[in-house]
Amino acid sequence: MNGIDLKNRHAVVTGGAQGIGLAIARRLLHSGASVSLWDMDATLVATTAAELSSLGIVHTEVVDVTDAREVELAAAATVALTGKIDILIANAGIAGPNINTWDYPVDAWKQVINVNLFGVYHSCRAVVPYMRQQNYGRIVNVASIAGKEGNPNASAYSASKAGVIALTKSLGKETATSNIAVNCITPAVAKTRIFEQMTQEHIDYMLSRIPRGRFVEPDEISAMVAWLVSEENTFTTGAVFDLSGGRATY
């Protein structure tokens, strides 16, 4: 593992109790950062924090990212405890059902947008003011290759991740003179518990689209994120970084 220096930095990882969020949190801890895990699963996030505690300082907040007020309170509590938020990984997300757009239940479509897009917006909205006060910050929003290409039978997920890409570009421009870098990643699917929300047909489709012939590993994602949130990233902002295994066409 290549060393990335994140000593004396504090990071927030939403959806940090499992999957990609957990892999990122682990990598940040290995790099010397302290970490706050924000997750709505109180039991799971407590268990994860206990498992990670040997690597460094881990703090938890039980928060539903679809609730703007809860996110604001979590940010305030984190700053009160740690003194600052230097890094935000807006990772919390859901897949939603695999259904044709014209048959997609409206409530399910709204839920995916609320978690995947509003959740990222709420998190950035709550954290950026603290970063502006300290004239420093690094944000990585977790989008998806589906946000670029659009997956069939996943219109809500694809639309939500496209929204994350556009939000990242807008916010990156707004904070560019405040020493705050805002970027996003567009990974191919990783084999995590999100597979439980998908049909086998959809999983097979996504694999067939990856020239590497395999799914991305969460640790491969965390390696890219670690550099993006480091002080070495002094110029890049409002950008999209692919982890698509060759699938991306632009």
The residue type of 80 is A
Can you tell me whether residue 107 is helix, strand or coil? helix
Going by the DSSP 8-state scheme, the letter that residue 94 receives in this structure is -
Question: One of 104, 121, 130, 157 is an active-site residue; which one?
Answer: 157
Distance CA 27, CA 9 (A): 13
Reduced DSSP (H G I as helix, E B as strand, rest coil) percent helix, strand, coil of the chain, to 5: 50, 15, 35
Q: Residue 1 CB: number of other CB atoms within 10 A?
A: 10
| Burial (0-12, 13-18, 19+ Cβ within 10 Å), 12 | buried
**Phi and psi at residue 53, to the nearest 5°:** -60, -25
157 catalytic per annotation: yes
**Phi and psi at residue 238, to the nearest 5°:** 65, 25
Token pair 């940010």 is at which residue? 75
| β-bridge mates for residue 137, sequence order | 180
Longest dimension (CA), the chain: 50
Active site residues: 157
